[in-house]
Chain A
Amino acid sequence: MEYEVVIGLEVHVQLNTESKIFCSCSTRFESPPNTNICPVCCGYPGVLPVLNRKALELAVRVCLALNCRINKRIYFERKNYFYPDLPKNYQISQYKLPLGEGGYLNLPSGKSIRIKRIHLEEDAGKLIHQDTYSLIDFNRTGIPLLEIVTEPDINSPEEAFEYLNWLKLTIQYIDASTCDMEKGYLRCDVNISVREKGENTLGTKVELKNMNSFKGVRDALEYEAYRQIDCLKKSIPITQETRLWDDGKKKTFVMRRKEEAHDYRYFPEPDLVDFVIGEELIAKEREFIGELPLGKRERFIHNYSLTLKEVDILISQPKLADFFESAVNILNEPKHIANWLLGPFLECINSLKEGEEIKITPNNFAKIVKYFLDNKLNNLSAKRVLSLALLTDKDVDKIIQEEGLIQVSGEEELSIFVEGVIKDNPKAVGDFSQGKQEAIMFLVGQVMKKTKGKANPKVVREILERRLLK
């Protein structure tokens, strides 16, 4: 018997706004507890919410990027439930009429995942449990969230993983959220059921929570698919329930059964008016959406002879991809630009200290690669120039001049150093004469040392070979 897994994802993304959705408190991460709060987000008696226009704009942008139909007139609703992290004991959300509906996200694999709905809502606070009491941090209360719900179109944990990565990248491209999962800027709940292949009706669905990374989502789904298929095989009924993923034990555990489900008593939020999503707003947001990652990926594959892996790394950061293209515009050597970008450049960036800002221009970067390709800088010197140029907008020519790094390839000039090295290293010379090939590398190294790395090692080797094999 073959089985099919059916998965739907519910992703919450924190929108990239300076202030909260219904008050002017800051959204800054890692502020001391309860410092970004005010009477409004703490639900004091008499307060009223006022919608942050920026949150609505970013939400519209995401809806457009995910090909949703945007409802032209929207309103908010109250989702009522008691919980200490929810100061008003209701969450202002959208229910009957979400901002966006009927969208889709195409994946590199060719599959299209339908987006059922996207709606705007406010976040709750954070509970910090102690031994005999709990603390509440309301900094997060009222931070704008976008809930993005798929249709049950995903058929494997791997596909869920791919969807999440592309969703994240798409949202990052349009600057609507950083999607930083470690900071809780992206959270994901999943629904999963299994059925016999060919079956039309869906199996009993189970909701999974508490995954802290995309990998965690994939692992949880793998475990849960296995568990449910095992149930089917053994004819054990699957119960509709919510299960928590334990990342340490790599297992899911029951959190609550269906009969414990809430009645949220949704009704229209009377403190907010209806909002008309005008053509002007839509046009403005549409304009903001440039090339999306999938389009960029296809174009890179088509335009530049790069490996798929290289393309995927380049487009994984919009800034990196843009930098690459600017540099290629200056120096039409995509392969070399990519090599230098993904190799030495990323290496340099990874070793940056906190607070150091990358200032190098694509023009300067292309120049370094060009120097290298023209044999004017050896590999070592080029890397050194790169590390020096990274944090400045100083011209590369000037850096090379100041550091005196231009490669010495003149035979006449180099022969002087070669003679000196031969004289000082009789043992190595002897070894080489007796056929030890590696001895010549030692001698090249000595010349490099004497020239402070400026010598063209290829030319040095040629001179040495000619001289010693005479």
Chain B
Amino acid sequence: MKDNILNLAGYQISHLIKKAEISEKEVFSFFYHRIENIDKQLKSFVEVYDPPLYYEGDSSLKGLPIAIKDNICIYGKRITCASKILSSHIAVYDATVIKRLKKAGLAIVGTTNMDEFAFGSSTENSCYGPTRNPWDLERIPGGSSGGSASAVACRLVPFALGSDTGGSIRQPASFCGVVGFKPTYGRVSRFGLVAFGSSLDQIGPITTNFSDCAHLLNIISGFDEFDSTTSHKPVPDFTKVLNYPIEGIKIGLPKEYFGKGLDNEVEKSILELISVFKKLGVKFKEISLPHTDYAVATYYIIAPSEASSNLQRFDGIRYGLRLGDDLMSVYKITRKEGFGEEAKRRIFIGTYSLSSGYYEDYYLRASKVRTLIKKDFEDAFKEVDVILTPTSPTPAFKLGEKSKDPLSMYLSDIYTISVNLAGLCAVSFPCGFSLQGLPIGAQLIGRAFDEETLIKLGSAFEKETDYHQRIPPIGRIK
């Protein structure tokens, strides 16, 4: 039975534990062995808790280990956001999602690497150094939730939590060949998630398959009295739609997402995916999202503006790093030494965009364009139920390939960013592999609070293909 774990979904392992066919202890030691043996190469974890933080509770995922992106507060544990400025900080409370995981009887095994404060698309901007892509150690795993995606892809844990501000769950999921789900803004509480762009951030699951994704969403979703931006909408049982027929669902293909810059192999995989869906009775329609071209520019005003304000609290006064010896020097030296280059870049952009005299031309204008982008989607969803796009224009790129060119790095999120600006839900899932053996991801975008349709489609596709079952070569050891 133990040998079988590797090929089982999380909920199936939990089921075996309940039937006493395998013990929790055996499950833990199986995954700890993998972390110990494989993560030296991947560097997907920032910290591994041994023993795990295990809490009595119950759910369909009870007894399973889970990894948490290092920007979500776990009481009594270090929370660093992969930044020097927080590297000594211990969380003084549990994030709402952590409380819910505990109540569900999951075991937290550690924290995963990320771009500093989630600023990046490659997990290279980490004070701990980069995480590697398990399919090719010379490549990046995507970012900013690269540690979580890489660990899940290699089955170091059955699943992990990430956070997504502009694609930070979906893009690494796509690069690592796993399922990364960004719930609708307001579906999952942000309380305890260290804020990057408060109006864009959302926590979501990274799993190897849609079933586990649905189970995890059941656990973490729903209104939270500590987050005013969470919705009161009732949370459906997402596992109910796992075996639903998808015939008649209408998918839109936005023409703006299939043009210049899209890699041939990625396009080919998406076309194959479309033909699978067509066989299952799904209807397709070309649509237009006319303001797509402005999404990256809009995002890189709004997200840094909010970030510049959110990051002001890291000042050396109350917690985290403190350098300098008088007030001004504490502010200046702490922040100069504590923040990495990309963090500083975004603080500058954001501060500039909000400054008097520039506010109208930057922040305010970006907010207006954001409304137009939102409206594009509203119009599109009058014609179709779901939108299908590639997750990223290319498969995973090489370490260092884009780290000197912020703009080309920003463009790797070109297909994911609009979703955050519009507050919608979206998922990336594996839909093929490149000739070099790199995973390719497809993105499904749903109406606000219609996560169910995405799960329906994704799980139906999984039944027709085996991409989600493939394990990177370095993870194939038993």
Contacts and interface: CB of A to CB of B under 8 A. Distances in A.
A362 interface: no
Interface string B70-110: 01110000010100001001011101000000000000000
Contacts of A50: 225-228
Interface in A122-174: 136
Nearest to B311: A89
B198 A270 contact: yes
Interface string B6-30: 0000000000000000000000000
Contacts of A88: 312-313
B81 A45 contact: yes
A265 B350 CA distance: 10
Contacts of B314: 45
A47 to B, nearest CB: 7
If over half of A's interface residues share one DSSP class (helix, strand or loop), that class is named, otherwise mixed; here it is: loop
A384 B438 CA distance: 97
A46 B317 contact: no
A89 B315 contact: yes
B355 A263 contact: yes
Contacts of A203: none
Interface string B315-347: 101110000000100010000000000000000
A273 interface: yes
Contacts of A84: 315, 317, 327
Contact of A43 (B197, B226, B313, B354): B313
Nearest to B319: A44
A267 interface: yes
If over half of B's interface residues share one DSSP class (helix, strand or loop), that class is named, otherwise mixed; here it is: loop
A46 B73 contact: yes
Contacts of A78: 309
A87 interface: yes
B331 A82 contact: yes
Interface stretch (B187-195, B254-262, B391-399): B187-195
B313 A46 contact: no
B363 A267 contact: yes
B306 A270 contact: yes
Contact of B190 (A44, A48, A82, A272): A48
A263 B356 contact: yes
B: interface residue count bin? 35 or more
A84 B193 CA distance: 23
B312 A48 contact: no
Contact of A45 (B79, B197, B363): B79
Contacts of B312: 80, 82, 88-90
A44 B93 contact: yes
B329 to A, nearest CB: 13
Most buried by B among A44, A265, A271: A265
B288 interface: no
A293 to B, nearest CB: 36
A272 B228 contact: yes
B338 to A, nearest CB: 13
Interface in B54-78: 71-73
A270 B356 contact: no
Contacts of B354: 80, 265-267
A49 to B, nearest CB: 7
B191 A90 contact: no
B309 A90 contact: yes
A46 B327 contact: no
Contacts of B193: 46
Contacts of B190: 48
A39 B93 contact: yes
Interface string A254-266: 0000000001011
Contact of B191 (A48, A51, A87): A48
Given A48-B190, A265-B355, A273 B89 contact: no
28 contacts: A43-B318, A44-B319, A45-B79, A45-B313, A46-B71, A46-B91, A46-B191, A46-B192, A46-B193, A47-B191, A50-B227, A80-B354, A84-B315, A87-B317, A89-B315, A265-B354, A266-B354, A267-B306, A267-B309, A267-B354, A267-B359, A270-B197, A270-B199, A270-B229, A270-B306, A271-B229, A273-B228, A273-B229
Interface of A: 39, 42-51, 78, 80, 82, 84, 87-90, 136, 263, 265-267, 270-273
User: 8 shortest A-B CB distances, which residue pairs?
Assistant: A89-B312, A270-B198, A270-B199, A265-B354, A45-B194, A46-B192, A43-B313, A46-B194
